Amino acid sequence: MRKIGVLTSGGDSPGMNAAVMSVARSAAMYGIPLIGIKRGYNGLLRKSANLKDDMQELTLELVLDIADDPGTYLRTARCLEFKEKKYQEKAVKTLKSMQIDGLVVIGGDGSFRGAQALCDLGVPCIGIPGTIDNDLPYTEMSLGYDTAVNVCVEAIRKIRATSRSHDRPAVVEVMGRHCGDIALTAAVSTGSEIVVVPEVPWTVEGVAMQLQRQLDRGNYRATIVVAEGCWESMAPFDLYNFLTSRGKPCYPEEPMSAVRFASVMKRMCGMVEARANVIGYVQRGAEPTARDSAFAFEAGNLAVRLLRDGISNQVIGMQKGKVFYMPIEKALKKERYFNRPLFDLVNSL
């Protein structure tokens, strides 16, 4: 193996830098030069005028101190044209010209599909799961999920403290476009009363009834945790008809959001106040937890060892507390499990 390349792709996630650091230390130990590729697959398409803006040799000196840093030192970006074969072939040419004989791809399922395409064109690749959503079914852990959940838990605890002081419900939007794992785990860990996820069909009326049940029991400070993808998976809802049929005033329709949802809950349940909180980017830009950093450390080393030993076309994951690897193709075919019993438990208590 003359040189190894490493890139981060898709959304950034805490722990990506720790994984790059581990790849760099391992490559240095095995005497293999390491090239960092910038902005996901874009760096391989040589879009910049300067080679330095697309690629950079990652010396130990450069990466030793980045492990705890949030974000990704290599930058990340979507690269939609990389789905097309002609661009994948261009990337192979770049890799060959740079004498890069193996590639470590840190990202989510889309990034792994890119890695699979390169493998099919003869480039040995290893994937490290880096996505806060936890939407990779083959592994119990992906870099950033544990950190994101912990950020949400810390924020929700603070929000609940103020909700309690003022006897006022709160809506908290967390990340998760197609996957409600962050919302569910954060809700369970904070004792939040209601959770809404994209995996389970829902209606505004249904959540209003759940909230009303809490109010009727004397709980005026319930927390509703909502995954961001829920605004798209929501059943059609006509607030105007709903409220006017009950003789209440109504504002014109606008797209659903955490702020509007809180306002709708307030009006439907006749409360004085219900506050919306969107946790947003702090979930992705946080420093990695020890759990994420430790996984990154092991995964980075295993990725380099596999490439050195001529094993490729694999993704690394965690199963029953142990780091393992399996073929990319097989990993991408696994079906995702959503913990529906836990979801039902939260919403029924």
By the rule CB under 6 A, 158 interacts with ligand ATP: no
Listed in sequence order, the DSSP H helices in the chain are: 16-29, 51-54, 60-63, 85-97, 109-120, 145-166, 181-190, 204-216, 230-233, 239-244, 258-268, 290-308, 328-333, 340-348
Q: Taking Cα atoms as reference points, which of 331, 310, 218, 265 lies closest to residue 30? A: 310
Q: Which is nearer to ligand ATP, 44 or 204 (CB)?
A: 44
112 in Cβ contact with 316 (< 8 Å): no
Q: Which is nearer to ligand ATP, 273 or 329 (CB)?
A: 329
Torsion (CA) 301, 302, 304, 307 in degrees, nearest 10: 170
By the rule CB under 6 A, 78 interacts with ligand ATP: yes
Q: Which is nearer to ligand ATP, 148 or 207 (CB)?
A: 148
Among 10, 124, 129, 198, binds ligand ATP (CB under 6 A): 10
Among 49, 80, 290, 349, binds ligand ATP (CB under 6 A): 80
Q: CA-based diameter of the chain, in Å? A: 75
By the rule CB under 6 A, 79 interacts with ligand ATP: yes
Q: Considering 133, 146, 181, 292, which one is annotated as catalytic? A: 133
Among 4, 7, 11, 301, binds ligand ATP (CB under 6 A): 11
Provide, rounded to whole angstroms, the least separation between the CB of residue 90 and ligand ATP: 13
Residue with tokens 């994951």: 317
In the annotation, is 133 catalytic?
Answer: yes
Among 4, 26, 41, 155, binds ligand ATP (CB under 6 A): 41
Q: How many residues bind ligand ATP (CB under 6 A)?
A: 20
Q: Which is nearer to ligand ATP, 110 or 169 (CB)?
A: 110
Residue 2, Cβ neighbours under 10 Å: how many? Answer: 10
Q: Which is nearer to ligand ATP, 70 or 169 (CB)?
A: 70
95 in Cβ contact with 52 (< 8 Å): no
Residue nearest to ligand ATP (CB): 110
Provide, rounded to whole angstroms, the least separation between the CB of residue 150 and ligand ATP: 18
118 in Cβ contact with 50 (< 8 Å): no
Q: Which is nearer to ligand ATP, 131 or 312 (CB)?
A: 131
Q: State residue 196 phi and psi, 5-degree precision.
A: -125, 130
Q: Distance between CA atoms of 120 and 122, rounded to whole angstroms?
A: 5
Stretch that binds ligand ATP, among 22-30, 62-70, 80-88, 318-326 (CB under 6 A): 80-88
319, β-bridge pairs: 322
List binders of ligand ATP among 175-204 (CB under 6 A): none
List binders of ligand ATP among 97-136 (CB under 6 A): 107-111, 113-114, 117, 131, 133
Q: Distance between CA atoms of 317 and 169, rounded to whole angstroms?
A: 38
Residues that bind ligand ATP (CB under 6 A): 9-11, 40-41, 78-80, 82-83, 107-111, 113-114, 117, 131, 133
Catalogue the active-site residues.
133
